[in-house]
Amino acid sequence: MKIYNTLTRRKEEFRPIKEGEAGIYTCGPTVYNYAHIGNMRTFITEDLQVRALRFLGWKVRRVMNITDVGHLVSDADTGEDKMEQGARREGKSAWDIARFYTDAFFKDFKALNCADPDVVCKATDYIKEMIDLGLTLEKKGYTYVIPGDGVYFDTARFPDYGKLAGKRHIEGIQEGARIEANEGKRNPTDFAVWKFSAPGGKRQMEWDSPWGKGFPGWHMECSAMAMKHLGETIDMHWGGEDHVAIHHTNEIAQSEAATGKPFANYWLHARFLVTGDTGKMSKSSGEFLTTGLLIKKGYDPLAYRYYCLLTHYRKQLEFTWEGLDAAARGLERLREAARRLAAGEGDTMPEQGGIVRSRCRELCDRPHGVPSSPAAKYLADFKAALEDDLNIPQALACAWEAARNEALPAGERLAFLKEADKVLGLDLFAAPKAEADLEPELMALVEARAAARKAKDFKRSDELRAELAAKGVLVEDTSGGQKWKRKAG
């Protein structure tokens, strides 16, 4: 499999540490609020990578952390802990906030068909490992103490500090940081290994340490947990693009300073989901869209997964409601084709010896052996797409080709779609959405309109259509009868 490595800025053949195995660390959510659908784009991408590797025969171990302490409001290691901010906002304890939003996160994660990671680890369960890492760094002379503030990593002592983000980028941070720089820091890019609880003030989450009572710096958790579960050097490390300049750069510095070995061989980053109105979607900027909100509006959460599948993970994805509507329709059409094949209704044309060159074949730029049957050719093309830096849009095009190509025997198309869905995770063979998903009073109006139309009382049926529209439900008349859907936006 070829993957784009942010560290070398090029596509590289993935060479594992252990033959046939892939150890993957993916930075998890900060559980002080719901995850927004931007976060979920990154988690869906990581899920696709794990599924693709397994599909291609790799043994994968995926570790994901839950940030439930230490992620401060400001990247400069100042300001409130986001967990304590969440606790204050909702009048609950920081521990309750962490529990609540961790559960909420996994609900969304599952709704979007993301497979469970092999290991899920909470930062608050690894305080000892983080302190040990801090002690190693201290012993090697990488840290210094700012009295009343914390223990800091001296980035000037790590010569390759800018290697992930690029030196110019780091210089930019240094320039920008000067304005709000923490006075005691030796360099603007230095970051906290351990933060002290404010003198006299008790934090909800705090622990004893050799340096004093306090809590770990945010970046420490990922280094400590990744090394604990995957070893001192890991195969792949994933996150969203925002992590390149600070979080992952700091993870590299502290891990490599401590062990003297490369921390991760491949660094992978998903570009952001953005919205037209506000640009970047972020938890801290207040308004954001959640998976739960999409479900409340009547969308199948997998319509959002399908939406993500249409754009390569290294391209920015702009979210629009029209786009989501189109994705929902696309997914439904693909499922319809899959269902018809499963019901044995796919052979609408007589079998032919060969098939026309498929679009996905054209899209694939890699030669792949001579497949034994037309369906095997689809599978080869599908695999080639996955192997080409996780080209999911191309893999999806293969699924569409197979669904549409009536010149192929239905059994072969069906078998291929079942295989493809193991990676795409779209529940292609799911039953159509039950109408009972609408609230009973709205369902009664939908039924009344169908009855009025049947009785040719068009005045009444138009009135009911308008009433439903005002209540957020759109009805349309199709050859298969009346259909309803919730209004977007």
Touching Zn ion, residues 274-293 (CB under 5 A): none
Q: What is the DSSP string of 392-437?
A: HHHHHHHHHHHHH-TTS-HHHHHHHHHHHHHHH---TTPPPPPGGG
- Mask of contacts with ligand AMP, 43-82, x by CB under 6 A? ------------------------x---------------
Minimum distance from residue 163 beta carbon to Zn ion (Å): 17
389 vs 401, beta carbon nearer ligand AMP: 389
Q: Is residue 117 a contact residue for ligand AMP (CB under 6 A)?
A: no
What CA–CA distances, in Å, run from 398 to 276, 378, 409? 30, 6, 16
Task: Specify the amino acid at residue 37.
Answer: I
Among 86-94, 193-201, 220-228, 464-472, which window interacts with Zn ion (CB under 5 A)? 220-228
Q: Which DSSP string do the residues of 202-262 spell out, in sequence order?
A: PPSS-B--TT-SEEE-HHHHHHHHHHHHH-SSEEEEEEEGGGIIIIIHHHHHHHHHHHSS-
Owner of token pair 């040990």: 132
Which of the 8 DSSP states describes residue 77? S
Question: Which member of 22, 27, 137, 399 binds ligand AMP (CB under 6 A)?
Answer: 27
Measured from the CB atom, is 225 or 452 closer to Zn ion?
225
Binding at 222: pick from ligand AMP, Zn ion, none (beta carbon under 5-8 Å per type)? Zn ion
Taking the complex as a whole, the smallest distance from the CB of residue 350 to ligand AMP amounts, in Å, to 47
What residues from 405 to 434 belong to the interface with ligand AMP (CB under 6 A)? Answer: none
Name which of 42 and 358 has its Cβ closer to ligand AMP: 42
Segment interacting with Zn ion (CB under 5 A) among 22-30, 336-344, 351-359, 407-415: 22-30
**Cβ-proximal residue to ligand AMP, closest one:** 240
Count of residues binding ligand AMP (CB under 6 A)? 19
Which one, 316 or 352, has the nearer CB to ligand AMP?
Answer: 316
The smaller minimum CB distance to ligand AMP, of residues 271 and 359, is found at 271
Q: Quick check: 182 and 28 in contact, CB under 8 A?
A: no
**Which residue, among 297, 322, 347, 9, has the nearest Cα to 164 in the 3D structure?**
9
Minimum distance of Zn ion from residue 33's CB (angstroms): 17
Judge contact between 111 and 295, C-beta under 8 A: yes
**Considering beta carbons, is residue 240 or 374 the nearer one to ligand AMP?**
240
- Here's the x/- map for ligand AMP, 273-312, by CB under 6 A: it reads as x------xxxx-----------------------------
- Which is nearest to 36 in space by CA: 356, 272, 354, 283? 283
DSSP character string of 80-108: -BHHHHHHHHHTS-HHHHHHHHHHHHHHH
d(CA 128, CA 111): 34
For the bound state, the minimum distance from the C-beta of residue 311 to ligand AMP, rounded and expressed in Å, comes to 12
Of positions 3, 22, 24, 27, contacts Zn ion by CB under 5 A: 27
Contact 192, 151 (CB under 8 A): yes
Range list of β-strands (E), 320-403: none
Which x/- pattern, by CB under 6 A, does the window 28-47 give for ligand AMP?
Answer: -xx-------xx-xx-----
Host H or E run for residue 55: helix 37-55
Answer with the entry of Zn ion, ligand AMP, none that 30 interacts with (C-beta below 5 to 8 A by kind): ligand AMP
Percent composition of the chain: helix, strand, coil (DSSP 3-state, to 5) = 45, 15, 35
- Separation between Cα atoms, residue 408 and residue 271, nearest integer Å: 37
Residue 222 sits in the site that holds Zn ion (CB under 5 A): yes
Burial label for 204, CB within 10 Å (0-12, 13-18, 19+), is middle
Rounded to a whole number of angstroms, the minimum distance from the CB of residue 31 to ligand AMP is: 8
- Decide which of Zn ion, ligand AMP, none touches 38; Cβ closer than 5 to 8 Å per partner kind: ligand AMP
Phi, then psi, of 348 in degrees rounded to 5? -85, -15
Q: Which is nearer to ligand AMP, 257 or 273 (CB)?
A: 273
Chain contacts with ligand AMP (rule: CB under 6 A): 27, 29-30, 38-39, 41-42, 67, 239-240, 242-243, 270, 272-273, 280-283
Chain contacts with Zn ion (rule: CB under 5 A): 27, 222
